[in-house]
Amino acid sequence: MMLFDIKDGVNIGDLKELRKGAFDLFHYFVDYCFDHGLRCMITSIMDDAPGRVHDGHEEGRCFDASIKGWSESDIEEFVHITNANFIHIAAVSEKDLIPRAVVCHGEGEKRHLHIQCKRNLT
Ligand SMILES: [Zn+2]
């Protein structure tokens, strides 16, 4: 069984450009999916992708993942647990100043997990 999959067109080499915080989140995400039997499909690292909304991608601070095969409660639980556990490295929203390591955003087909560490992590 593959630990994770990367969508066609996404450059797997960009993994080595991730900041330490984003890489820690990547490792955690792969582990989490494995432990919970969830599909782990990376849909954007630094490449532009449909539905992508954050500049942090170019900075190597985030990656996107598909929610295909995940139930609403899978998503809710992952978002809740991850945001509680990674508050120390989570990206801080400029809108409400709340740190969130993960958000599930986008509409319809483009809805996805956006996983992001804060600025100034090496
Ligand atoms: Zn994103």
The mean per-residue pLDDT over the stretch 90-96 comes to: 91
Q: What average pLDDT does the chain have? A: 92
Query: Cα 7 from chain centroid?
Result: 14
How far away, in angstroms, is 35 Cα from ligand 1 center?
A: 23
Dist. CA 33 → ligand 1 center (Å): 18
Å from CA of 51 to ligand 1 middle = 8
112 alpha carbon – ligand 1 mean position (Å): 8
Collapsing DSSP to helix, strand or coil, 65 comes out as strand
Within the chain, where are the H helices?
20-36, 72-85
The pTM is what? 0.92
**H or E element, residue 64:** strand 62-66
Question: In this predicted structure, what is the pLDDT of residue 20?
Answer: 94
Burial of 94 (C-beta count, 10 Å sphere; 0-12/13-18/19+): exposed
